[in-house]
Structure 1
Amino acid sequence: MKDIQPQDLDRIIEMAWEDRTTFEAIHYQFGVSEQEVIALMRTHMKHSSFKMWRKRVSGRKTKHGATSESNRFKAKCHR
């Protein structure tokens, strides 16, 4: 995994918690894939918090750009 600055790590975790921010937006901004975001969340969160996040995010349409109807948080090049 890439060397991530602490302030970037905090922002990635914050974006991952946000329901409307897609994994594609995180990848576009930080170059971190969905699987890498999941690994970061797993290592930097309490086990119970990670389980709660995964349960909420799994199957959520808004976390994937291809299935999200929202343009609010998409980069202009992805609309």
Structure 2
Amino acid sequence: MNRQSMKNNFTARDMDRILEMAWEDRTPFDAIKFQFGISEQEVITIMRREMKPASFRMWRKRVQGRITKHSKLRNSEIDRFKSSRQKQITHNKISKRN
């Protein structure tokens, strides 16, 4: 299966999780890439396709340049994708690797 067809075959549950992670202020795009294999630009494309135009513009304005969404801008001491106080999430591939 090539990468393009893999991106188009997300389950409804996967799509919900991608959208949820993209909305979360403290979840970096790198975490989405790690879990689902899609880039920041691909997340933006999904958000544009799945959201109402006004909601998409609001989301883009909020996440652009947000330090917590971009790992390169984050404090180098933060090496995790989630808060240490966050509960383990069932069916979350990242939490199962810990």
- Calculate percent identity across the aligned residue pairs: 60
Q: Could you say which residue in structure 1 is the equivalent of 2:69? A: 63
Q: Which of 42, 49, 56 is residue 48 of structure 2 equivalent to?
A: 42
Q: Which runs of 4+ in 1 moved over 6 A?
A: none
Q: Which of 15, 20, 37 is residue 14 of structure 1 equivalent to?
A: 20
Give, in whole Å, the separation in 1 of the partners of 2:60 and 2:35.
21
Q: Could you say which residue in structure 2 is the equivalent of 1:28? A: 34
Larger relative contact order, structure 1 or 2 (CA cutoff 8 Å, min sep 6): 1
- TM-score (norm: length of structure 1): 0.86
Bigger Rg, structure 1 or 2? 2
Give, in whole Å, the separation in 2 of the partners of 1:52 and 1:35.
17
Give, in whole Å, the separation in 1 of the partners of 2:56 and 2:14.
19
Q: Could you say which residue in structure 1 is the equivalent of 2:81? A: 73
Q: Which of 38, 41, 52 is residue 58 of structure 2 equivalent to?
A: 52
- TM-score (norm: length of structure 2): 0.70
The count of corresponding residues between Structure 1 and Structure 2 is: 75
RMSD: 1.6
Structure 1, unpaired ranges of 5+: none
Could you give the per-residue CA deviations for residues 7-27 of structure 1, whole angstroms, max 9, x where no partner exists?
A: 000000000000000000000
Matching residue's letter, 2:81 = F
